[in-house]
């Protein structure tokens, strides 16, 4: 097999993996996933085998895929906000918007806690914080993420520490903290 063919085959495999990961993102952004999060475990709607294939095939694009996931969660929450503004009376809008944000973050965290390593959880949470900073203050974002972490049945001390590092962004400047999580 010549070099061009091997390159094309590798590129095709990465492309297929990215497409599969995009399907996972669509599942995590779906109303079905939000309902599952409300019932206790958002990841029951995620095909674990498809995720494993997609994640393994994404190679060096994993961080970009996590950014796409965070951006999609933000975009879906914005759509939820628009629906709340149209569908609910003013007295109920604030409550429904907050509930929607909580469930969207829960979907993301349940997914991360089940399928990702601490470093990837840090990156994913950091991406979510960056995506939401345009519409909320940092302290409001941290408060919402903290509430979602507390509500997740998959939360462990180690994973909680990864979330904390992700919300602060410290893992970028103090990677030894992240390494200590991975070793525990």
**Over the stretch 51-106, which tens digit does the pLDDT of each residue have?**
999 999 988 889 999 999 999 999 999 999 999 999 999 999 999 999 999 999 99
Phi and psi at 134, nearest 5°, equal -75, -20
Phi-psi region of 43 (alpha: psi -120 to 50; beta: other; left: phi over 0): alpha
Q: Calculate helix-pair angle for 118-132, 62-87, nearest 10 degrees.
A: 40
**Over the stretch 3-50, which tens digit does the pLDDT of each residue have?**
666 656 777 888 889 999 999 999 999 999 999 999 988 999 999 999
> Range of 135's domain?
3-183
Say what the pLDDT of residue 7 is: 57
Residue with the two structure tokens 């049945």? 153
Q: How many domains does the chain have?
A: 1
**Over the stretch 94-139, which tens digit does the pLDDT of each residue have?**
999 999 999 999 999 999 999 999 889 999 999 999 999 989 999 9
**Over the stretch 145-155, which tens digit does the pLDDT of each residue have?**
999 998 888 88
């Amino acid at each position: 097999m010549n070099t061009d063919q091997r390159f094309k085959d590798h590129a095709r495999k990465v492309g297929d993996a990215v497409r599969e990961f995009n399907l996972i993102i669509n599942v995590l952004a779906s109303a079905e996933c939000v309902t599952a999060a409300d019932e206790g475990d958002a990841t029951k709607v995620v095909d674990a085998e498809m995720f494993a294939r997609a994640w393994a095939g994404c190679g060096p694009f994993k961080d970009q895929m996590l950014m796409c996931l965070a951006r999609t969660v933000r975009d879906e929450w914005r759509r939820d906000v628009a629906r709340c503004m149209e569908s609910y009376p003013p007295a109920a809008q604030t409550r429904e918007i907050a509930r929607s944000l909580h469930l969207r973050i829960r979907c993301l965290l349940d997914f991360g806690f089940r399928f990702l390593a601490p470093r990837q959880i840090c990156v994913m949470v950091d991406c979510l914080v960056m995506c939401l900073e345009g519409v909320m203050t940092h302290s409001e974002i941290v408060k919402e993420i903290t509430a979602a972490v507390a509500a997740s049945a998959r939360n462990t001390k180690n994973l909680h520490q990864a979330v904390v590092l992700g919300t602060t962004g410290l893992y970028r400047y103090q990677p030894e903290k992240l390494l200590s999580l991975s070793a525990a």
